[in-house]
Structure 1
Amino acid sequence: MYVWNKISLSVRHLLLAASALIMAFPFYWMASSALKTNDEIWQFPPTFWPQDAQWGNYIEAWLEAPFSRYLLNSVVVASCIVLLQIMNSAMMAYALTHMKMRLKGAFTGLILVGYMIPSTAVYLPSYIVLSELGLLDSYGGLILSNCVSVFAIFLVRQAFLQTSHELVEAGKMDGASHMRILWTILVPLTRSSFAVMALITFIDHYNNYFWPMLITKNPDLQLVSAGLRSFFVEGGAYGLKWPLIMAASAFTIAPLLVLFLLTQKTIMNSVNLSAGVSKG
């Protein structure tokens, strides 16, 4: 039995390692292709590493378009959206789980129904509202139009439901306000869920393309997805400068990789906590 368990564990580790390599290979191919010449990219059979690495492709791609501006726009907009969604979802989830209110069940159901509505279905009314408020083609429009997320509310609500209601009642008995209970008791206890929500939200809005392109026309407001498209099509790189396109793609996803490395421990703690709750 011991030998069989060791074999099973080894096979499981090998499968996980193979899966990790398969998932990481596109990133390696993108980064290595940025070091090739255009002819090397199209040659068959393909090479996994260039004969003479063209490290200058990264510098050339960075200088040919204002990628620093695109990255700054995406990071600032996505970070502001994350902060607003954390505050809004936390307060809404607290009201739905630990406050007494009429028709709370119906209100919760209405929020879940809103989660089923495709985002594209609200683009037109959202565009009209932003136009009336004078927020088109502005950072305010990009941020405020995404400051509330039904998914975030649902995720935080599920996390709050797993916390002990007795802690909330004890806080009330000690005279703590709802805001103090929320931010000093519930949020620290569910910080893993907030970290996961923040990571998903940041990635979603960092890579967002269609909605920002719809409400902004100023090139200075472009996010990385729109900026990369402009470099691909309008900058003359279409079909001609694939190494530069690969280089630009590589350094535009770098902030996401750094963010994941910084939060992976918290995410794993969240997974372990969810597994423990499910077993319990």
Structure 2
Amino acid sequence: MHQRNGFIINIKRRRMFMNIDINNNIEELKISELLDTDKKIYIPKKTLKERIGTFSRHILLIFISIATFFPFIWMVTSALKSRQEIFTFPPNIIPANPNWHIFSDVFKEAPFATYMFNSLSVATIEVIFQIISAAMIAYALTQFKFVGRKVLFGIVMCTYMLPSAVTYVPCYIILGKLNLLDTLTGLTISNLVNVLGIFLIRQAFMQVDKSFIEAARVDGASHIKILWKIMFPLTKPTFITFGLISFVTYYNEYMYPSLITKSPEKFLISAGIRQFFIQDGAYGTKWPEIMAASTITVLPLLILFLIAQKWFMDGVGGVTVDK
């Protein structure tokens, strides 16, 4: 065997199976004849065209990563600058005299602790109920056989096509009749069901091997036990991905909470930053304070993502069922 655009490796023969990828063709080699002899296997190198393509993709990903991460870096560094330094041209990324005390000052100038607590509590309760309701509905749509099951799922998905702004007025009227306007309770119960969660979890449940469910039923497991002891652990990446997306959405929501809540002590973080932006006629003159408040606002989301990134990447990458 001659060598061309590749290299030779020696593999000690053992009593084992090996999967070797040669020219994108997976070949299974059973090595069981001899124990003390070697076999040479040819593995081709990448061509120049393939190397250029790989290098180009890496460069593109680096630029995209920098462009994505730059606004966060600018926000943090702007919080440490003076008002005049922010508008200096050409701009400086690194502040000359960092003002670290700005992060404590914003809590003295506005009740950001209250705003963050409101946002965290509302988003957490909404996500918990959305996961429970979506899991139960998805389980019924995938495990129960009844007439009109597909039609019902189609109707549910049609509601997802409606713009969210269309529901603002009906929700406002209903909450007004229930005397729940300007309350965090009214804001929370308006978002206890999420159609996107129903869709994602249903698709994940459809990929679960039916033999697991049948075995559980033979053992006498109830539907609730099957759902939370079998389906949930197997589809954990989908649950965590949906929960993370939903939490970020409702934590940062601005329009609907601004419509429902009017008292400053009921504001969520987005409405609180906007109020801080215009209070006392400032209208954007407190840019260092606004950048500091925005940085503090983002921290819970960063921590949450760092904790759940493994399952989130699996869910985004299409790994909806744990093996």
Q: 1 CA distance for matches of 2:219 and 2:308?
A: 34
Report what 1:124 is aligned to: 169
* 2:215 paired with 1:176: no
Specify the alignment match of 2:230 in structure 1.
185
| 1:86 maps to 2:131 | yes
Q: Which amino acid aligns with 1:2?
A: K
1:2 corresponds to which residue?
46
Q: Secondary structure at the match of 2:319?
A: helix
Tell whether 2:51 aligns with 1:38. Answer: no
The structure carrying a bigger helix percent of its residues is 1
My pick for the range that moved more, 245-254 or 221-230, is 245-254
| Deviation, structure 1 residue 97 | 0.7
Structure 2 runs not aligned, ≥5 long: 1-44
Judged with a 3 Å threshold, the aligned counterparts in structure 2 of structure 1 residues 275 and 122 are, in CA distance, closer, same or farther, namely: closer
Pair 1:52-2:97 in alignment: yes
Compute the displacement of 1:175 (Å).
1.4
Aligned partner of 1:19 in structure 2 is: 64
Which residue in 1 is equivalent to 2:39?
none
TM-score computed with the length of structure 1 as normaliser = 0.93
List gaps (5 residues or longer) in structure 1: none
Q: Number of residues paired by the alignment?
A: 277
CA RMSD of aligned residues (A): 1.8
What is the letter of the counterpart of residue 301 of structure 2?
L
* Pairwise CA distance, 1:112: 0.8
| Cα offset, 1:239, TM superposition | 3.0
Out of 221-230 and 5-14, give the one that drifted further.
Answer: 5-14
Matched with 1:240 is 285
Q: Tell me the amino acid that sits aligned with residue 68 of structure 2.
A: M
Please tell me the residue identity of whatever aligns with 1:108.
Answer: F
Is the 2:238–2:320 contact (alpha carbons within 8 Å) kept by the matching residues of 1? no
1:64 aligns with 2:64: no
Deviation at 1:3, TM superposition (A): 5.6
Deviation for aligned residue 1:11: 3.5
The amino acid that maps onto 1:233 is I
Q: Aligned in 2, Cα 1:70/1:275: closer, same or farther, shift over 3 Å?
A: closer
Cα displacement string for residues 77-114 of structure 1 (whole angstroms, at most 9, x for unaligned residues):
10000100010000000001111222111101100111
Matched letter for residue 46 of structure 2: Y
Question: Residue 160 of structure 1 aligns with which residue?
Answer: 205
Distance in 2 of aligned mates of 1:45 and 1:100: 66
Higher RCO structure, 1 or 2 (CA under 8 Å, sep 6+): 1
Q: Please state which structure has a larger fraction of its residues in strand.
A: 2
Whether 2:211 is the aligned partner of 1:202: answer no
On the 8 A contact 2:102/2:292 being kept in 1, the answer is yes
* Matched letter for residue 37 of structure 1: S
Does the 8 Å contact 2:240/2:311 carry over to 1?
Answer: yes
- Is the contact between residue 204 and residue 320 of structure 2 (CA under 8 Å) also seen in structure 1? no
